[in-house]
Amino acid sequence: MADRQVSRLKAALADREARVRILEARVAALEASTSLRVGRAVTDAARRPGKGVVRLPRELYRMWRHRGTPNVVTSVDARERPMFSARDEDRLIVGSPATGLAVAGVLGRAAAEELGRTAHVVPLMPHDAALILDTADVDLVLVDAAAGAPGGPWAYLGVPGVPDRERALLGLMDVARSRGRPLVLLGSAPGLAGLGWDATLRTDAPLDEALAGLHARFSLDLG
- Give yes or no for a contact between 105 and 111, defined as CB atoms under 8 angstroms apart: yes
- Give yes or no for a contact between 145 and 186, defined as CB atoms under 8 angstroms apart: yes
| Domain definitions of the chain by residue range | 34-65, 81-218
pLDDT for 17 equals: 76
Q: Which fold has domain 81-218?
A: Rossmann fold (3.40.50)
Q: Which residues pair with 104 in a beta bridge?
A: 122, 141
pLDDT for 57 equals: 63
pLDDT for 200 equals: 96
pLDDT for 109 equals: 93
Beta-carbon count within 10 A of 170 CB: 12
What residues of the chain score a pLDDT lower than 50? 69-99
Alpha helices in 32-155 (DSSP H): 34-47, 51-65, 88-94, 109-116, 129-135
DSSP label at residue 144: E
pLDDT for 219 equals: 85
pLDDT for 121 equals: 93
Q: How far apart are CA 123 and CA 155, in angstroms?
A: 15
- DSSP structure string for 195-217: S--SEEE-TTS-HHHHHHHHHHH
Strand, coil or helix: 83: helix
Structure confidence by residue, pLDDT tens digits, 130-187: 999 988 889 999 999 999 999 999 999 988 878 889 999 999 999 999 999 999 999 9
Whether pTM > 0.75 for this model: the answer is no
pLDDT for 31 equals: 54
pLDDT for 50 equals: 60
Q: How far apart are CA 195 and CA 191, in angstroms?
A: 8
> 39: exposed, middle or buried (C-beta count within 10 Å: 0-12, 13-18, 19+)?
exposed
